[in-house]
């Protein structure tokens, strides 16, 4: 009789402790973690010494050549600046509390230098990345948009290069915060309630919209 009670008590105690451990592990995961960057993949992705890949939140850097594809203008330069900032250094990451990982298993996080500077903000301000929200904008969104406006107005980095065919207008989607070329099927599907028209692609970027991956405006 007593042995049964003890076994049950032990079971519930272990169950309770496992829940607590899981809770504290998850809470810790959404707080700043001090880590070391082992190497840099490109302008918005790094690898830590513990093997985790980290994808910077809320920005997109130009693609570098890979898998037989030529890459995009200033992709190599964006990677070099990212290397200069974080490679081999102790940094801090703040994982997303909404979506901790992307579909490739990479940690989605903001990255900070030990002096408190936000790495993605530096990349955006110098024109080596643009703002792109993959989830709802967080508390760093305003800083990133301010940096992007500065880069656009001063024509830094990607903003001084005309590397895409211009359109007479672009279709923005207020819900997804993406904008499309007028002929893009995804743009045409945008409901009137969510639709906004931009006559310059820079105007869309100034408002925090990110270009569609299909039509690449």
pTM of the complete model:
0.83
The pLDDT tens digits for 42-91 are 999 999 999 999 999 999 999 998 877 788 999 999 999 999 999 999 99
Exposed/middle/buried for 48, CB within 10 Å: 0-12, 13-18, 19+? middle
User: Would you state the pLDDT for residue 23?
Assistant: 37
DSSP code at position 203 = H
The pLDDT tens digits for 107-123 are 999 999 999 999 999 99
Give the pLDDT band of residue 30 (cuts 50, 70, 90).
low
Mark out the alpha helices in 30-140 (DSSP H runs).
Answer: 75-86, 119-125
How many degrees, rounded to 5, is the angle at CA 135 between CA 185 and CA 40? 100
CATH number assigned to the domain covering 33-158: 2.40.50.90
Q: Taking the domains of the chain in order of start, what are their residue ranges?
A: 33-158, 164-211
CA distance 50 to 68: 29
């Amino acid at each position: 009789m007593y042995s049964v009670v003890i076994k049950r008590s032990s079971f519930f105690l272990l169950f309770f402790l496992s829940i607590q451990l899981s809770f504290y592990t998850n809470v810790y995961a959404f707080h700043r973690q001090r880590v070391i960057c082992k190497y840099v993949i490109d302008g918005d992705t790094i690898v830590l010494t513990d093997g985790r890949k980290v994808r910077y939140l809320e920005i997109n850097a130009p693609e570098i050549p890979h898998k037989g594809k030529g890459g995009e203008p200033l992709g190599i330069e964006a990677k070099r600046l990212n290397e200069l900032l974080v490679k081999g250094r102790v940094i801090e990451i703040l994982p997303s509390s909404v979506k901790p990982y992307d579909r490739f298993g990479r940690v989605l996080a903001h990255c900070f230098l030990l002096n408190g500077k936000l790495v993605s903000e530096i990349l955006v301000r110098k024109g080596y990345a643009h703002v792109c929200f993959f989830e709802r904008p967080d508390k760093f969104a305003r800083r990133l948009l301010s940096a992007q406006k500065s880069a656009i107005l001063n024509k830094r980095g990607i903003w001084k290069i005309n590397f895409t065919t211009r359109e007479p207008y672009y279709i923005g989607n207020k819900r997804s915060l993406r904008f499309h070329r007028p002929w893009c099927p995804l743009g045409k599907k945008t409901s009137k309630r969510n639709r906004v028209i931009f006559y310059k692609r820079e105007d869309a970027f100034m408002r925090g919209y990110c270009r569609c991956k299909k039509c690449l405006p």
